[in-house]
Amino acid sequence: MTDALSPSQQATRAKILDTAARLFYDRGVHAVGVNEIVAEAKASKLSLYRYFPSKEQLVAAMLTEHSDRIHDWLVRKTADAPAGPERVLSVFDLLIDWFAQPGYQGCTVVNTVTDTRADPAIAAIARRHLARYRHLLEGRIQEAGLADAPRLARQLLLLIEGASVVVSIDGTTDAGADARAAAERLLAAARQGGHPTVQAAG
């Protein structure tokens, strides 16, 4: 095995990856060239193409690393919250803080899959990202002893992704709180155990 990278090589690779992630997020994949990435990262194109065979694969590596980091962060942070429904809702509290960060422009995964519509590798990373997200939510919901966890997890994910989109378009963070309130109601309905419909409620 000679394909292991030395510490300094890892540092160069990471520097390029971090710079690319920041620029891609700020302005979009198509609007940022490799020349700008290496200039900003104080690296050379030779280094970039040593670690990433093409711009496409640089984008894929960036997105994979980002998805992994977000997933680990969510797992760790929600584990700190008190058990029960509050732990499920803690996901929304994390997101509300995230949305409020200056320069928030929506979910990196969603933006990147939109930027690179024809790339099946990017699409696969995005599908995996959503699947892991649902898996995390489902686990937290089951821990809270709530029924119909798979469906609830899928529904909460809709609120999360919707809030991310609306926040980035509206420029306000209200959508985060709206999503949390909606999630609270959906969880409450599940705790009541029934499947009330509009008709049945009349």
Instruction: Name the site residues for DNA (rule: CB under 7 A).
Output: 6, 8-9, 12, 30, 32-36, 38-39, 42-47, 49-50, 54-56
**What is the Cα–Cα distance from 159 to 181, expressed in whole angstroms?**
10
The candidate with the shortest Cα–Cα distance to 95, out of 34, 170, 177, is 177
Determine contact, residues 125/64, Cβ cutoff 8 Å. yes
- CB of 24 or CB of 99, closer to DNA: 24
For 14, 99, 132, 190, 197, the CA distances from 187, given in Å and listed in that order, are: 41, 22, 20, 5, 15
Residues 6+ apart with CB under 8 A from 88: 137, 140, 141, 144, 146, 156, 183, 187
Q: Which of DNA, a second copy, none lies near 127, with the C-beta cut-off 5 to 8 A by kind?
A: a second copy
Could you say which of 86, 91, 102, 132 contacts a second copy (CB under 8 A)? 86
* Closest distance of CB 177 from a second copy, Å: 9
* Residue number, 51 or 133, with CB nearest to a second copy: 133
Binding-site member from 41, 60, 61, 160 for a second copy (CB under 8 A): 160
Residue 71 touching a second copy (CB under 8 A) = no
- Position 188 contacts a second copy (CB under 8 A): yes
Own/partner long-range contacts of 175-178 (Cβ < 8 Å, ≥24 apart):
175/99, 176/92, 176/95, 176/96, 176/99, 176/100, 177/96
Nearer to a second copy, 139 or 162 (CB): 162
From the list a second copy, DNA, none, pick the one residue 50 interacts with, judged by a Cβ distance below 5 to 8 Å according to partner type: DNA
Q: How far is the CB of 16 from a second copy (least distance, A)?
A: 22
Tokens of 70: 């977000």
- CB of residue 121 vs DNA: minimum separation in angstroms? 13
Tell me, rounded to whole angstroms, the distance of Cα 119 from its chain centroid: 19
89-148: contacts with a second copy (CB under 8 A): 89, 105-106, 110-111, 113-115, 117-118, 123, 126-127, 130
